[in-house]
């Protein structure tokens, strides 16, 4: 995986970097690459109890009938779309044929 500089593999450390890291590790805590999260002995506060929400009411027969009627209306609306798409495909094929003929003539 490339790094921020476009390198696809890690480069070796320069002698100066190695020297700096060795001196840092022998004289102090060393290089800190990340900060560990602090853990506390305290327990988190408990959230207040929330009342249970009532279950949603199921659909009624009337709701179901309305949904079926909407679906049938949508299907009727899309009934002729296949003819429209076929006509569009025919027009596109004709235009592509004409473009290729014009390019072949020039």
Tell me, yes or no, whether 22 lies in a domain. no
User: Is the residue at 80 inside a domain?
Assistant: yes
Whole-prediction pTM = 0.33
* Cα distance between residue 50 and residue 46, in whole Å: 12
Rounded to an integer, what distance in angstroms lies between the CA atom of residue 11 and that of residue 5? Answer: 11
Measured distance CA(57)–CA(62) in Å, rounded:
13
Residue 94 domain-assigned (yes or no): yes
* CA-atom Rg of the chain in angstroms: 35
pLDDT in tens, 65-94: 999 999 999 999 888 898 899 999 999 999
Name the 3-class secondary structure at 62. helix
Does residue 90 sit within a domain? yes
- Residue 89 structural domain: 75-106
| 102 occurs within a structural domain | yes
Residue 101 within any structural domain of the chain:
yes
Dump pLDDT digits (tens) for 23-61.
777 777 655 666 666 666 677 777 777 777 777 778 889
Within-domain flag for 31: no
Number of domains in the chain: 1
Give a yes or no: residue 12 inside a domain. no
């Amino acid at each position: 995986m490339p790094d921020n500089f476009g390198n696809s593999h890690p480069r070796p450390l320069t002698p100066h970097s190695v020297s700096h890291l060795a001196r840092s590790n022998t004289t102090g805590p060393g290089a800190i690459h990340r900060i560990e999260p602090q853990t506390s002995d305290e327990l988190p506060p408990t959230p207040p109890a929330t009342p249970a929400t009532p279950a949603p009411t199921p659909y009624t027969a009337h709701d179901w009938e309305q949904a079926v009627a909407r679906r049938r209306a949508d299907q009727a609306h899309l009934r002729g779309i296949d003819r429209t798409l076929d006509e569009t495909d025919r027009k596109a094929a004709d235009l592509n044929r004409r473009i290729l003929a014009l390019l072949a003539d020039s």
